[in-house]
Structure 1
Amino acid sequence: MSGPVRMEVSAAGHAGHVYASRAPGGRSATPVVLIHGIGASHRYLRRLHRLLAGSMDTYSIDLPGFGATPRPRNTLSVADHARYILGAMEQLGVAEFILVGHSMGTQFATEAALQAPGRVQHLVLMGPVVDPRRGTVVQQALALGRDALFYESPSSNAVVFTDYLRCGPAWYFKTLRVMMEYPLAERITGVTAEILVMRGANDPVADADWSRRLAGLARRGQLMEVQGTGHVVQHTRALEVRDAILAFTGPRAAVGDALPGHPE
């Protein structure tokens, strides 16, 4: 399978990057769109992207201000990012899709599902944030630090922290304020799509009680835990995450496929 094709896409007044892979044999399955979290990029979604691309057209987005994309002049809201996601996929001719978000990407994905309910049939929220019972920046930073020290692999830490450096502190902290204020528990109740809340069983950022609560608040929600991993579950347990997404959304792949290469 060839690597994804990078496209520069401007939508909703902002510029980002979309990485696209076509599934072998055409478009029989609904496409899937992968959304990163704060400070990150498509890079920590590469393993999952490659695996999903064996079954369906797969798109990973670098949102405006992240990865190698231009920094917007003003801070973007969660709704702004959602409009970019929807506009970018519309430009690429993708009307309906499965939306998968990680960490703050779960906020962007939820908001996109609210803005265009007819376009998002399934929503996967991996490591969702922010639990209001731990609603301070210090509490979130401590949880993230504990995750990096005890539950992540060296490769996941390397990808995440080099992306943080690329993002830069100014844009990171502007976006952090937006992340801390978004009421995910309230917004998820209005989503009509089926929702899978997924977490690594050791994740201190999205703990079991918070994740279970979110799944219960959704109109059609369920919870899945992936054993033996932390917050960046899609990198450290990409195969299990792929299988869970395919089981949740319908199309099935051969369980136990070898992971096709590692991200740089």
Structure 2
Amino acid sequence: MARAVRSEIEAAGHLGHVYASRRPRVRPADADPGAALPAPAVVLVHGIGVSHRYLQRLHRELAESVDTYSIDLPGFGSTPRPEHTLTVADQASYILGAMEQLGVLEFTLVGHSMGVQFGIEAAIQQPGRIPHLVLMGPVVDTERNTVTQQALALGRDSLFFESPSSNGLVFTDYLRCGPSWYLKNLRVMMEYPTEQRLAAVEAPVLVVRGGNDPVAPEGWCRRLIERAPRGRFVEFPGSGHVVQHNRSAEVAEAILAFTRQPGACSEASQEFQA
């Protein structure tokens, strides 16, 4: 696997970090000339309060096959805090601008939790650059759309369905984020109309959830698939909200299978077997 290299990138007026694992550009002399071309680059986007760290296992798995990038959005991880709270559209513009600076003009975008919202908005802003969109543990379920309901769901997830390592990564990032910045972004997350905005996405969509995820229930995920023009669904039994950490190899396999089958998304509500 290519080693992830961090770049500090200013885009859309804000500063963030991108961790890049690029594969060799020269085909080896003994490579099969008839081998399938690699899938497009994959960009991983974290959710509220956290950073690229809980995406690292998935990043490593994907980087074995494709160029892979993980982003620490402005205000998260070790990036500087913006002077004001950024909207979902602001963060989407940062993603697109940062990847353009790196010369990555087309990529599969994979968002987790609130990162789903950033991914949706990026796919709406520049649809030609995102041929596939992956939504992992999407928020916010319209039938559980209060802060109290979301907090209870997250608490259940961390207590009953997460591993010690996933909880450790998430909660140490929460501490680094701090309550003030978290709460400002929580308001942005709760107000974003995920379901309605998804209907404007042109790219094929894959929705991924852990089978025990109380934050992204199955019914909510299936409603999103119905909204997507070309949607697919995959569920990993026994896993919680941070499915990409605890089932990283299987999630990576599902993402790569989805991006390498351009003709497989012609019908709505198709499913992968997990």
TM-score by length of 1: 0.93
Match of 1:117 among 99, 115, 127: 127
Answer yes or no: is the 8 Å Cα contact 2:39–2:259 preserved in 1. Answer: no
Query: Aligned with 1:224: secondary structure?
Result: strand
| Separation of aligned partners in 2, 1:196 and 1:47 | 19
Counterpart for residue 157 of structure 2 = 147
Question: How many positions carry a matched residue from both structures?
Answer: 251
Q: What is the CA-CA distance between 1:132 and the residue it aligns to?
A: 1.4
| Separation of aligned partners in 1, 2:234 and 2:193 | 22
Answer yes or no: is the 8 Å Cα contact 2:85–2:184 preserved in 1. Answer: yes
User: Structure 1 stretches (4+) deviating beyond 6 angstroms?
Assistant: none
Which amino acid in the other structure matches residue 35 of structure 1?
A: V
Counterpart for residue 14 of structure 1 = 14
| Separation of aligned partners in 1, 2:242 and 2:75 | 21
Which amino acid in the other structure matches residue 153 of structure 1?
A: S
Counterpart for residue 33 of structure 2 = none
Q: What is the CA-CA distance between 1:228 and the residue it aligns to?
A: 1.1
Give unmatched runs, 5+ long, in structure 1: 252-264
Establish whether residue 200 from structure 1 lines up as the match of residue 214 from structure 2. no
1:204-244 deviation digits (Å, cap 9, x = unpaired) = 00000000100111000111101110000000000110010
Counterpart for residue 89 of structure 1 = 99
1:240-260 deviation digits (Å, cap 9, x = unpaired) = 100100110018xxxxxxxxx
Counterpart for residue 70 of structure 1 = 80
| Separation of aligned partners in 2, 1:189 and 1:29 | 25
Match of 2:47 among 21, 24, 37: 37
Query: Aligned with 1:33: secondary structure?
Result: strand
Map 1:132-211 to 2 at 5 A: 132-211=142-221
Answer yes or no: is the 8 Å Cα contact 1:104–1:129 preserved in 2. Answer: yes
Identity %: 69
Which of these two proteins has the greater Rg computed from alpha carbons? Answer: 2
Answer yes or no: is the 8 Å Cα contact 1:24–1:55 preserved in 2. Answer: no
Q: What is the CA-CA distance between 1:203 and the residue it aligns to?
A: 0.2
Answer yes or no: is the 8 Å Cα contact 2:2–2:63 preserved in 1. Answer: no
| Separation of aligned partners in 1, 2:145 and 2:179 | 20
Counterpart for residue 269 of structure 2 = none
Give unmatched runs, 5+ long, in structure 2: 27-36, 262-274
TM-score by length of 2: 0.90
| Separation of aligned partners in 2, 1:101 and 1:161 | 19
